[in-house]
Every structure is written in C-alpha cells, then in structure tokens.
Amino acid sequence: MEALSVRISKDLEAGLIEVAREEKLEQPSEAARKVLSIGLEHWRQEKALQLLTEGKISFLKAAEVTRMNVWDFAQLVKEKKVAWVTDQVIREDLESASR
C-alpha cells in the first residue's frame, strides 16, 4: 500500500469516524480506504456510462473502464436504463447487413 496525506474538513473526519463505527473498523483510516474505494468504483461507472452514451467508447471498452466483466456491466447499463445504441447506429448496421 502507498501512503497518501490529505487534509479533510471536520465534517469529513466526523463522517469517516461514523463509517468506522458503523462498519466496526478499528481506525478512521480503514473507513477512508473503504469510502475511497466505493467512490472510485462509482466514479468509474459514471464515467464509463457517460462515454458510452456519448459514443466515445465501445461497450467493451466501457466495461473495461469500470473494471467489471461484460455481463455485470450489461446489468449496470440495464439498471441505469442507459441508451447506448442510437437509431443511426441501428440503421447503419441494417444497411450494412442488407448489402
């Protein structure tokens, strides 16, 4: 593990102490690692879904960004009701298939 020094507000410190207490963790630093991990996972998912929706990355690349397997990512896309295939893409695929 790498050490990282950050300054946080009293409110964030109180929140970490609360998480540590609720999760029965010995140190607020353990709570910080847990919360950072959850936050980073959430950020990756939101970023991947945004890029996928904008057509900037493929479905497989988006799954890779989230560090999820394709099936779990497909479930996330379904749960979030993300439309990642546009009418234009479908038309182009149909035209391509009919040639």
- Tens-digit pLDDT profile for residues 45-66: 999 999 999 989 989 999 999 9
Confidence at residue 86, expressed as pLDDT on a 0 to 100 scale: 74
pTM value? Answer: 0.79
Which token pair is 97? 């298939």
Tell me the pLDDT band of 75, cut-offs 50, 70 and 90.
Answer: very high
pLDDT in tens, 4-46: 899 999 999 999 999 999 999 999 999 999 999 999 999 999 9
Burial class (CB in 10 A: 0-12, 13-18, 19+), 35: middle
Confidence at residue 85, expressed as pLDDT on a 0 to 100 scale: 80
